[in-house]
Amino acid sequence: MDHRLPSELEELRTTVEAFAHDVVAPKIGEYYENHQFPYEIVREMGRMGLFGLPFPEEYGGMGGDYLALGIALEELARVDSSVAITLEAGVSLGAMPLYHFGTEEQKQTWLPKLCTGEMLGAFGLTEPEAGSDAGGTKTTARLDAATDEWVINGSKCFITNSGTDITGLVTVTAVTGHKAASDSSGVRPLISAIIVPSGTPGFTVAAPYSKVGWNASDTRELSFTDVRVPAANLLGEEGRGYAQFLRILDEGRIAIAALATGLAQGCVDESLRYAKERKSFGKPIGENQAIQFKLADMEMRAHTSRLAWRDAASRLVHGERFKKEAALAKLYSSEIAVTNAREATQIHGGYGFMNEYPVARMWRDSKILEIGEGTSEVQRMLIAREMGL
């Protein structure tokens, strides 16, 4: 099996690598420390076509696939995860549900601007009491027959890209009815997905969270009070919203795995550079076997993680089953990202605790990767189920 990238994907990789080092790296530290969204960088990513990578040209996309998206995410995350998660959420969570489940009218209305980065979309799934248990959704939507509108009430939390100046919509999951459970245990909720445009009356976006990491990305709490949108804003089939978003999350785990791999590799890059420059007891610390072994292990983890996410992406692209492989990649890559960030901080010593060094940012950004888009515990559950347990 040849794991080398074809020429067009290698060209994409080198282009994004150069952008990350020449454009993102010099500016992102200031955005991060000031908790500011990097509109200038996002606009440039839009002009490069990164938000349209996995979408057909007919909708303004680049005609690529999830492998192309993952390559871009990995290269961005080698330098900064806030920028990478803005792209990941904008594509995997904001635009992909519309592409997979939207009507042709919905696609034509929203996808062109989402693909160019002129607009960001968000994915409203998580609630205060419905995180890993997404089936416990409390947000409701009822159809008002008199006006042919959905009336939405409830709240969502930890929603990425939901409150920027260029956010155009949030697709929210809501209970739209109930049906008898197949095991006669009572009734179960029918969860549907509904498109809510930004600025809709009753749709309130809270101030940004104060976060440990991802400080240059946008994360908000949302509330819905008698929010009315046309019945035509239903995304996909009524009652199929939960199943639809499980598919979206399966794909998104590949993207998060690529992002985590990039962070892990970025820790190697920064630590290797530092180990060659930093002198202690009269010689570079990279001449010490203890540091060499740390770096060797860090490189091994990043390399293995890359193979894992690319395998999952390849299966997805070729129409094969990929649920287990996506969970494996997400689980492994997120955990080794945390490990590499910890080791990078240790190699840098006291400087690793200073925010002026990228590894401090990477250390703060790594932990959420074991939580977002399915915790490590959920990934282990999924893997076990796919093994037949």
How high is the pLDDT of residue 188? Answer: 85
Read off the tokens for 171. Answer: 């697709």
Q: How confident is the model at residue 182 (pLDDT cuts 50, 70, 90)?
A: low
How high is the pLDDT of residue 149? Answer: 98
Looking at domain 7-120, which CATH architecture does it have? Orthogonal Bundle (1.10)
- Cα 185 to Cα 193: distance, rounded to the nearest angstrom: 25
- Cα 296 to Cα 293: distance, rounded to the nearest angstrom: 5
Q: How confident is the model at residue 135 (pLDDT cuts 50, 70, 90)?
A: confident
How high is the pLDDT of residue 184? Answer: 62
- Cα 327 to Cα 256: distance, rounded to the nearest angstrom: 10
Is the per-residue pLDDT at 165 higher than 90? yes
Domain residue spans in the chain?
7-120, 121-239, 243-386
Is the per-residue pLDDT at 38 higher than 80? yes
The catalytic position among 75, 149, 343, 373 is 373
- Give me the torsion for CA of 344, 284, 24, 333, rounded to 10°: -30
Tens digit of each residue's pLDDT (9 = 90 or more) over 310-350: 999 999 999 999 999 999 999 999 999 999 999 999 999 99
How high is the pLDDT of residue 132? Answer: 74
Report whether CATH 3.40.50.150 matches the domain 121-239.
no
Q: How confident is the model at residue 197 (pLDDT cuts 50, 70, 90)?
A: very high
Is the per-residue pLDDT at 11 higher than 80? yes
| pTM value surpassing 0.75 | yes
Q: Where are the beta strands (DSSP E) in the chain?
A: 120-124, 140-144, 149-160, 167-180, 187-197, 203-205, 219-230, 234-235, 279-280, 283-284
- Cα 329 to Cα 350: distance, rounded to the nearest angstrom: 32
Is the per-residue pLDDT at 1 higher than 90? no
373 among known catalytic residues: yes
- The secondary structure of residue 240, as a DSSP letter, is B
Q: What is the mean pLDDT of residues 285-296?
A: 97
Q: How confident is the model at residue 183 (pLDDT cuts 50, 70, 90)?
A: low
How high is the pLDDT of residue 292? Answer: 98
Is the per-residue pLDDT at 234 higher than 70? yes
More confident position, 295 or 1: 295
CATH topology of domain 243-386: Butyryl-CoA Dehydrogenase, subunit A; domain 3 (1.20.140)
Distances from the Cα of 349 to the Cα of 29, 352, 357, 365, 367, angstroms: 20, 5, 11, 18, 20
